Amino acid sequence: MLSKTTLGRTGIEVTKLGFGALVMGSMQANMSPEEGAKVIRKALEKGISFIDTAHVYGTYEHIRKAKKDWKEELVIATKTPASDYEKAERHINYALEALDLESLDIMLLHAARAGENVFRERAGAYQCLCDYKEKGLIKAIGVSTHHVGTVRVAGQREDVDVIHPLINVIGTGILGGTVENMASAIEASSQRGKGIYAMKALAGGSLLERMDEAFKFVMTLPGIDAVVVGMVSEAEVDMNCRIFSGETIPPKEREIAFRQKHLKIVEAYCKGCGRCVDACPSGALSMVDGKSSVDRSKCLLCGYCTPACPEFAIRVI
Ligand code: SF4
Ligand code: SF4
């Protein structure tokens, strides 16, 4: 049975394991709404009551289909990439309609790489979130970020309810500081009553082989309420639910789940620096038209290239 927790002082109760919808979206696995809905529905049936998505993931339709006629409790967090008020307002209204909801549980500023000035730079969009919370159309607001400084700043603001930070045991993708810096910013924010749910606990898939250790590291950090994990198959949902319920998964079963995975380079993020090519011991990566490209017949899914990428463009999905 999956355990539940309350996100900070929001009063919103979620399962400690949340379903991350990024991976099934058009930027990564590009699953159809029907395929995606099947996997999400499986997650709901297995007891997961928390889904994280975003305007840019293109997965509202997947979620809407999955939750059709679902009567149990379900919390959906989403995010807006908007900077100004009008755009944020459009994104809120779009989410309400596309997800078929009367109010949004959690709406965050989608600010992955933005630094500590994000609330000033995107003041219009954040004001819109505050106003819609006031109107009762959003229950909790905040920010999603890879940046230590943004977590620190958000933790000190009275108008932030929830923070969605990036953290993992090897520090892949953390901006503006170390794993220790991020952990202490998270703890301080939690002590001020913020709800914290983590992302990228498996470092974009490169910690799959050390999954138990990676999840344990994040879930035992002081201040973390929950973690969302990207899942693209029913087998993966099943395995993650079992791990979060305290079961030990036999190595053979893990292998089966890993075998369905592959390396994905998110072209839109790749800046063509070539660091991943040098990091790959198998010669599976090369530069094609200024972007990194993988030869899947050579890729062993060892994960050495993932931490080498400063843009977080390489994922195992
Ligand atoms: S996962 Fe390993 S083998 Fe595959 S491209 Fe990356 S470094 Fe090379
Ligand atoms: S390290 Fe990242 S940004 Fe650089 S070429 Fe590889 S995928 Fe692209």
Distance of alpha carbon 22 from alpha carbon 142, whole angstroms: 18
What CATH number is given to the structural domain containing 267?
3.30.70.20
Look at residues 210, 225, 258 and tell me which one is the last residue of a structural domain.
258
Supply the pTM of this predicted model.
0.89
Distance of alpha carbon 197 from alpha carbon 205, whole angstroms: 18
Residue ID of nearest Cα to ligand 2 atom 2: 309
CB atoms within 10 A of CB 313: 22
- Closest by CA to 147, choosing from 96, 185, 103, is 185
What separation in Å is there between the alpha carbon of 125 and the centre of ligand 1?
39
pLDDT at residue 265 is higher than 90: yes
Q: Which amino acid is at 140?
A: A
- Closest by CA to 225, choosing from 161, 178, 176, is 161
Q: Give me the mean pLDDT over the 95-103 stretch.
A: 98
Ligand of minimum distance to the alpha carbon of 307: 2
Q: Are residues 287 and 267 in the same domain?
A: yes
Q: Is the CB of 211 under 6 A from ligand 2?
A: no
Q: Are residues 146 and 68 in the same domain?
A: yes
Q: In the structure encoding, which two tokens stand for residue 121, read together?
A: 């730079």
Q: Are residues 296 and 232 in the same domain?
A: no
Look at residues 217, 238, 258 and tell me which one is the last residue of a structural domain.
258
Look at residues 234, 258, 282 and tell me which one is the last residue of a structural domain.
258
Q: What is the CA radius of gyration of the chain?
A: 19
Q: Are residues 171 and 123 in the same domain?
A: yes
What domain range includes position 306?
A: 262-316
For 7-57, write each residue's pLDDT tens digit. 999 999 999 999 999 999 987 888 999 999 999 999 999 999 999 999 999
Q: Within its chain, how far is the Cα of 108 from the centroid?
A: 12
What CATH number is given to the structural domain containing 39?
3.20.20.100
By the 8 A CB rule, do 307 and 316 touch? no
Q: Ligand 1: which atom is nearest the Cα of residue 304?
A: 7
Share of the chain above pLDDT 90, in %: 78
Q: Are residues 33 and 84 in the same domain?
A: yes
Mutate to test the pocket of ligand 2, among 291, 293, 309 (most ligand atoms within 8 A of CB): 309
By the 8 A CB rule, do 145 and 181 touch? no
Q: Are residues 184 and 45 in the same domain?
A: yes
Q: Are residues 21 and 80 in the same domain?
A: yes
Beta-strand pair 226-230/263-265: unpaired
Q: Are residues 115 and 233 in the same domain?
A: yes
Mutate to test the pocket of ligand 1, among 206, 280, 291 (most ligand atoms within 8 A of CB): 280
Q: Are residues 116 and 174 in the same domain?
A: yes
For 102-151, write each residue's pLDDT tens digit. 999 999 999 988 889 999 999 999 999 999 999 999 999 999 999 999 99
Residue ID of nearest Cα to ligand 1 atom 7: 280
The total of structural domains in the chain comes to 2
Express the helix, strand and coil content of the chain in percent, nearest 5 each.
35, 20, 40
| Nearby residues of 260 by Cβ (< 8 Å), 6 or more positions away | 233, 235, 236
Residue ID of nearest Cα to ligand 1 atom 6: 305
Q: Are residues 201 and 279 in the same domain?
A: no
Q: Are residues 284 and 219 in the same domain?
A: no
Mutate to test the pocket of ligand 1, among 293, 294, 295, 309 (most ligand atoms within 8 A of CB): 294
No. of helices (H) and no. of strands (E), the chain: 11, 14
Q: Are residues 163 and 269 in the same domain?
A: no
pLDDT at residue 256 is higher than 80: no
